[in-house]
Structure 1
């Protein structure tokens, strides 16, 4: 839970609470599926609660700031809570409210450049979907780091995961213009480390048949299929339904899409 606050200095801040409890059952189901398919970049990291989650986020924010990634500053901490600085409006909101396709494209271009720049500094972001990204009018920022993918994968896999998650998260805004999204992402991915592209290639190759299933399901699943096509073209790879399972899980702690796929 996150609360917006105004400090005595009139500075905007956010108080983030970390409730106890985890998602062991749902994570176990997702991990079993991903391991069966042999898709390392999509292996879900442990989801901890309380002070353990607070400690992970505090550490990750320090690491990312040292790598020159635009993340909130820790202003203070308490039991199961952090006080964080504000680093802009939700990118999700900015994309939704964009006045034109060109304005939306400009935001996405900034976002893919920010991800590529973070990777160039050796960083990984975990869940760079629009709701976990910000825009302050000039810079893209990143939030939400209470999980650490490096607990269950390599840095190369974690950076590949960043692209897969972003592609799925932003596809909803390009339902009628997938070619433009493909172009925007490809401009950044072509400059990525070859091993990152190879990791994404392996993951998406494993999921080609599942991608076909998504085309015939509901609106969210069709977005998965579109993201598959977009990232396939952008990286000369393939892309993925399991990204959608992860995003579905992270949004509400449940695996609604998996239930649909399995009947």
Structure 2
């Protein structure tokens, strides 16, 4: 949980790290990922308290060294960090923008992710709610998990693109071809192993996408993300996390309940 605070008149964020309570959900998600050989779906350990704080502090230092726009750590306690304010919620900016404004924001985010990947960086959950916008640069927040504990760098970067594609697809319900074109440009420059890995997993999820088209609003949003990202590249990667995206977004396994 994070709450805004003021330090000498400047806005900052106090982030508390509670104890983890997701062991059952993580175990189920990990079973599904292993059963269907969806490596990039494997959930990293979700620790709490001082361990989560230490992981996020370490990852922020690593990402900053790789040139990624992440907040500075202003202060810390045993299970808390005080973080720099890096801009407004990217999700809020997308909701309030018109179509042209959304395209500019999404294009800026795609370039920021691609640039970070070129430096060897990875994120974990670059959903719009975990991103910021200061009018010039896209920022990234929320790093209390480390995907490299359960997957390699290529898989982690493929996971990044999937998470981002899922997060913004809802804003392109009536213009999927626009999002597809922007992602396709990014995929042309992405490392081949990243795209190939995503393509392999996507192929296993195409039938599921068809089922999700009839599964209500949440299911249709997931299906749209699969189909848009699949068409964005000849290798079509990003759909690999469809079984877990809903859980990763809010900590609930709503999608699995929906499919059941």
On whether the aligned pair clears a TM of 0.5, the verdict is yes
**Equivalent residue, structure 2, for 1:5:** 5
The answer to whether the Cα contact below 8 Å between 1:210 and 1:240 also exists between their aligned partners in 2 is no
Deviation at 1:241, TM superposition (A): 6.3
Q: CA RMSD in A?
A: 1.2
**Equivalent residue, structure 2, for 1:165:** 163
Q: Residues of 2 paired with 1:219 and 1:7: CA distance?
A: 42
The answer to whether the Cα contact below 8 Å between 1:227 and 1:239 also exists between their aligned partners in 2 is no
**Equivalent residue, structure 2, for 1:199:** 197
- Deviations 1:197-229 (CA, angstroms, capped at 9, x unpaired): 011111111111111111111111101111111
Q: Choose which of 135, 144, 147 in structure 2 pairs with 1:146.
A: 144
Most deviating of 248-257 and 11-20: 248-257
Please give the residue correspondences for 1:245-260 in structure 2 after superposition, counting only pairs within 5 Å.
245-260=243-258
Deviation at 1:43, TM superposition (A): 0.8
- TM-score normalised by structure 1 residue count: 0.96
Q: Paired residues, what number?
A: 260
**Equivalent residue, structure 2, for 1:232:** 230
Q: Residues of 1 paired with 2:41 and 2:156: CA distance?
A: 8
Q: Residues of 1 paired with 2:249 and 2:151: CA distance?
A: 22
Which runs of 5 or more residues in structure 1 are unaligned? none
The answer to whether the Cα contact below 8 Å between 1:210 and 1:241 also exists between their aligned partners in 2 is no
Which runs of 5 or more residues in structure 2 are unaligned? none
Deviation at 1:242, TM superposition (A): 5.9
- TM-score normalised by structure 2 residue count: 0.97
Please give the residue correspondences for 1:35-46 in structure 2 after superposition, counting only pairs within 5 Å.
35-46=34-45
Tell me, what secondary structure is at the counterpart of 2:113? helix
**Equivalent residue, structure 2, for 1:184:** 182
Tell me, what secondary structure is at the counterpart of 2:3? strand
Deviation at 1:179, TM superposition (A): 0.2
